[in-house]
């Protein structure tokens, strides 16, 4: 192996991987999926361009890496902001899934997420990735609900059913906000979920 040939460790190191996914995100934000090329990502990457071409064969490989990284970051954020109590954890999850407003950066991030989610209609690799993401998030909601039931804080209910209902409602409201001018849909979805949780769990959020 020559000195200039990349190694697996060179791209797997945390600083390099973070720089790579950030470059991928910037390029995707600027060009969108349809017009994005690996060369666009390479142009945003300040480290050795050979790292990209050595380890990734296509833009989809890079975008799937981006999704994996973003998912891990989301759950690290959840880990650091939950564990404060069953009510607070459930309230935090609702606020995370259905924020009243979006900053410009978060709006762009959600738009990119749904643009990539649409790829799951035709690409099995994206379908697998988003299935894992939704299942992981649903399990987190389920764990919070089940923990509250076990502790006697929430009334007895089906945690899995509640988790999937919350996630499906949140995804639908988020998509509507991004694709229509009906901004009030998120507020109504939040109210609806609060009423649903009050009826199912006897909890006021």
Domain ranges within the chain, ordered by starting residue: 6-59, 82-201
Percent of residues in the chain assigned helix, strand, coil, to nearest 5: 80, 0, 20
Q: How many angstroms separate the CA atoms of 91 and 150, rounded?
A: 18
Tokens of 95: 């606020």
Condensed to tens digits (0 to 9), the pLDDT of residues 113-129 reads: 999 999 999 999 999 99
Q: How many angstroms separate the CA atoms of 203 and 154, rounded?
A: 6
> Which helix or strand (DSSP H or E) is residue 191 part of?
helix 184-201
Tokens of 151: 């502790």
Q: In Å, what is the CA distance from 3 to each residue of 7, 13, 139, 151?
A: 10, 18, 45, 58
Residue 205 pLDDT exceeds 90: no
Which pLDDT belongs to residue 1? 35
Q: Hey, which CATH number is domain 6-59, 1.10.10.60, 1.10.760.10, 3.90.380.10, 2.40.10.330?
A: 1.10.10.60
Task: Give the residue from 149, 174, 177, 179 showing the smallest Cα distance to 161.
Answer: 149
Q: How many angstroms separate the CA atoms of 4 and 12, rounded?
A: 16
pTM greater than the 0.75 cutoff: yes
Under CATH, what is the fold of the domain 82-201? Tetracycline Repressor; domain 2 (1.10.357)
Q: How many angstroms separate the CA atoms of 33 and 38, rounded?
A: 11
Condensed to tens digits (0 to 9), the pLDDT of residues 56-102 reads: 889 999 999 999 999 999 999 999 999 989 999 999 999 999 999 99
Tokens of 161: 């059913």
Q: In Å, what is the CA distance from 71 to each residue of 57, 115, 126?
A: 22, 16, 13
pLDDT band (50, 70, 90) for residue 6: very low
Residue whose entry in the numeric block shows the structure tokens 């988020």? 174
Do the Cβ atoms of 49 and 42 come closer than 8 Å? yes
Q: How far is CA 129 from the centre of its chain?
A: 11
For 154-161, what is the mean pLDDT?
98
């Amino acid at each position: 192996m020559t000195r200039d040939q990349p190694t697996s460790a060179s791209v797997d190191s945390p600083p390099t991987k973070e720089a790579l996914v950030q470059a991928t995100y910037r390029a995707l934000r600027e060009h969108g999926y349809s017009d994005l090329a690996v060369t666009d990502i390479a142009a945003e990457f300040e480290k050795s361009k050979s790292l990209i071409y050595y380890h990734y064969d296509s833009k989809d490989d890079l975008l799937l890496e981006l999704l994996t990284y973003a998912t891990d970051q989301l759950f690290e954020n959840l880990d650091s902001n939950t564990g404060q109590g069953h009510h607070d954890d459930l309230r935090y999850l609702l606020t995370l899934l259905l924020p009243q407003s979006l900053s410009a950066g978060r709006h762009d991030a959600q738009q990119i997420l749904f643009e990539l989610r649409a790829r799951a209609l035709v690409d099995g690799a994206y379908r697998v990735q988003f299935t894992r993401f939704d299942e992981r998030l649903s399990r987190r909601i389920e764990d919070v609900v089940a923990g509250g039931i076990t502790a006697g804080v929430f009334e007895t209910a089906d945690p899995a059913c509640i988790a999937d209902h919350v996630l499906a409602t949140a995804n639908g409201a988020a998509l509507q906000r991004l694709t229509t001018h009906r901004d009030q849909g998120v507020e109504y979805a939040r109210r609806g979920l609060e009423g649903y949780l009050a009826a199912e769990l006897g909890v006021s959020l």
